[in-house]
Every structure is written in C-alpha cells, then in structure tokens.
Chains A and B, each alone.
Chain A
Amino acid sequence: MRATVLVRPKEGILDPQGDAVGNALGHLGFSVSSARVGRVVDLELDAADADDARTQVEEMCRQLLANALIESYEVEIVG
C-alpha cells in the first residue's frame, strides 16, 4: 500500500517559515496574503487493505510524524 501524509502547522501557530515564503512570493509580484509551510511524507507499507493502512498511518502520525501540540495531519491512502 502507498500512503501520503500531509502535516501542517496548526491554525494559529506562528509559522515564520511560511511568512518568509509569503514575503518572497510578494517580491516576485504575486499577491499572496498567507503562506504556510508543512511537510509531506510518502509511505509504502504492508497493510491488509485500505482501512488497515489508514489505521496504521494514523498511529504513525500520533506517535511520530506529527506533534499534536503544533501540527495537524491528513492521511491519504493512494492504494
């Protein structure tokens, strides 16, 4: 199974990296009012089916891939 995890800074968390990217886009002439920088983790894993894969990957997020104090995550099972 392949899965993609999208980890984002939670809403309200100061993201200076995102701000810097937003400013840089502004310098290029783009009208960007907000930019937030997260992280993508692509996984290949052993799983019985998509549900099993989702359960496993969500556990991975809780235990390691995201820090719940500051980050939210979305799991996509690619198949």
Chain B
Amino acid sequence: MASPQPRIGVVTYPGSQDDRDALWALSALDAEAVPVWHEEAELPDLDAVVLPGGFSYGDYLRCGAIARFSPATAAVCAFAEEGGLVLGICNGFQILCEAGLLPGVLLRNESLRFICRDVALVVERDDLPFTSRLAAGTRITVPVKHGDGRWFAPPELLGEVEANRQVVLRYDEPCNGSVASVAGVCNERGNVMGLMPHPEHAVDPLLGSADGALILASLVDAARDRVLAVT
C-alpha cells in the first residue's frame, strides 16, 4: 500500500505573500497542500498547519497583532491546543508569538534594514516533528527576508525558554540582533514551532539551498505518522 499523503493546511491572510510557495513546497514534498482562507472559523480535516510569511493586515500596530484575531487563527490555536502540528514561518512566527502560542516577540531588526539573504543556522533540536531530518549541532543554510525579525524575550523568559530547550535554530552569523541569536523556537510541548528563515524558499538546489526541505519534509513525515497512527 502506498504511504498516505498527509493533509497540510496553509492559511492565507490578507497580505500573506509566501502562501503559494509554502503550498508548492509541501506538494513537492508529497503532502496534500490545502489552502485555508483566513475567514474560515473551522479548519478542514488537516494533519498539520503552516502559517506563511508576508505582511498580514499590513503589519498594522505590531507584526502579527491583528492576524491573531482572524477566525482561522482562532481555529489554529484550538488545533494546536489539541496537539496539532503548527509551523509559523516569518510573519507566521510573529502571529504565533502574538497569539501566545510561542514565547517572545519579534522586533524591528537592529540595523533597521530589511534583510534578504541566505543565512547559516545551527540546529539545536533534532527531536521535534519539524526537525527529525536534521542533526543537532549541524549547520543548514536557509534564506531570511524580513524587517522585523529580531526575536526578543526578557531575561526571565529567555531563561525559561533556554532551560526548556525551546530554542530550535540559532543564527550562526550576525543577522538581525535577536536575543541569544534565536532564529526559531518551539512551545514547551513541541507541537508548535516558529522561525524567521524561510524553509519554503529553500527546497530546490537551483535556488541556492535545499536545506529548507529538510524542515518541511520533517513536518510532512510527522504529519504522515499521525495519519498512520489513526488508520
């Protein structure tokens, strides 16, 4: 029997930009990629959800602050609460932080410049549904493109995040000035992750790196395992 195709939703908000790339990348990695419109208060039957990059609601007030209130975000929060797998990329990461699913907040880059380039990342965790194809301690290259990517947490919260091993990826070179060089974090339970770099833009060697595919393929693997566990 052919292995089942997991269904992975990608939410499109007004101002989302990378939803199509995320859908394309997930399809290329053998998932059934399902577009989800921001007004949908109930998610279709999904095995995982991706919140894509972009500038939802024009980044008004703070990045991700308004998207937090869309019906689809409420549905994604409920999905995560039940243990569902949720990956937030760039603006999706900002939304997950504003929604309280992930610790910290994303601030304006220290340089005040929009950064758009490949960056080297160090893998801190390889035991998550998002990182099973990676090896802790190794380096991967994935592009970033953001103006507000400086992850910040006050010292006490940062201490908790480090103690719980919630840092998943760190920049291996100066990037946006984030605290402890954090590029990606997960929740305590490990079913929600956010990162500023764009794995969906690094799934084909033609574009400079296919390392992003390792993250998305890990998610597809984990989502497929969930389908198999149910059937």
Among B24-32, B149-157, B206-214, which stretch is in contact with chain A?
Answer: B149-157
B98, B107, B110, most chain A CB atoms within 10 A: B107
> Could you tell me the distance between the alpha carbons of A13 and B105 in the complex, rounded to whole angstroms?
12
Is B62 part of the contact surface with A, judged by Cβ < 8 Å? yes
Q: How many residues of B contact A (CB 8 A)?
A: 17
> Could you tell me the distance between the alpha carbons of A65 and B62 in the complex, rounded to whole angstroms?
9
Given the interface pairs A14-B177, A64-B61, A64-B65, the reply to whether A69 lies near B109 with Cβ below 8 Å is no
- In the complex, are the beta carbons of A16 and B154 less than 8 A apart? no
Contact-size category for A: 10 to 19
- In the complex, are the beta carbons of B107 and A70 less than 8 A apart? yes
Interface residues of A in 3-25 (CB under 8 A from B): 13-14, 16-17, 20
> Could you tell me the distance between the alpha carbons of A14 and B178 in the complex, rounded to whole angstroms?
11
- Chain B contacts for A65, CB-based, 8 A: 61
- In the complex, are the beta carbons of B110 and A14 less than 8 A apart? yes
- Chain B contacts for A13, CB-based, 8 A: 107, 152
In the complex, what's the smallest C-beta–C-beta distance from B65 to chain A, in angstroms? 7
> Could you tell me the distance between the alpha carbons of A65 and B108 in the complex, rounded to whole angstroms?
17
In the complex, what's the smallest C-beta–C-beta distance from A27 to chain B, in angstroms? 16
- Chain A contacts for B110, CB-based, 8 A: 14, 16
B 131-161 binary contact with A (CB < 8 Å = 1; else 0): 0000000000000000000001110010000
> Could you tell me the distance between the alpha carbons of A69 and B110 in the complex, rounded to whole angstroms?
17
- In the complex, are the beta carbons of B62 and A67 less than 8 A apart? yes
> Could you tell me the distance between the alpha carbons of A64 and B65 in the complex, rounded to whole angstroms?
7
Partner of A69, one of B61, B65, B105, B111: B105
Q: Which 3 A-B pairs have the closest CB atoms?
A: A16-B112, A69-B105, A16-B110
Could you show 8 A-B contacts with beta carbons less than 8 Å apart? Answer: A16-B110, A16-B111, A16-B177, A17-B108, A20-B112, A67-B62, A67-B105, A70-B152
Q: A14-B177, A16-B108 are in contact. List 11 more A-B contacts (CB 8 A).
A: A16-B109, A16-B110, A16-B111, A16-B177, A67-B62, A67-B98, A69-B104, A69-B152, A69-B157, A70-B105, A70-B152
